[in-house]
Amino acid sequence: MTSKVTYIGNLRTESVHIKSGNAFITDAPTDNNGKGGAFSPTDTVATGLASCMLTVMGIKARDMDVDMSGTTAEVTKTMASNPRRISKIKVVLNFPFKTDNKIKAILERTANTCPVHYSLHPDIEKDITFNWL
């Protein structure tokens, strides 16, 4: 088992990672009957894309002796209706270091082939921007 998710009432869940015990809360968003007091389930999907991209880039960067510390990703999720779903995820990656074009190309290709990217439905538009110093 990877995680256990418990509905705790008022459109809120608690997710616990079995191996580590780490937990997070989700709330329904304000545009869908919720309070918006935490990540919504679809926020976690969009954020998961950015987290996955940074993680696999970090692995590749480490293998090339490149320190990616301080790199950030800004995530914007767009919803559609009928049926309600994620229609677009915009990720802006900001790199606080200079590197050569070869390493940039390798890291960008690595990001665009992360497991979450491949797992998302092809109808979800993925708008990815790489901002290098």
Report the pLDDT value the prediction gives residue 59, as an integer from 0 to 100.
98
Tens of pLDDT, residues 2-49:
999 999 999 999 999 999 999 999 999 999 999 999 999 999 999 999
Q: Which residues of 92-125 are buried (b: 16+ CB within 10 A; e: fewer)?
A: ebebeeebeeebeebbbebbeebebbeebeeebe
Q: Which of 83, 61, 80 is nearest to 71 (CA)?
A: 61
Chosen CATH of 40-131 out of 3.40.190.10, 3.30.300.20, 3.50.30.30, 3.40.50.1980: 3.30.300.20
pLDDT of residue 118: 97
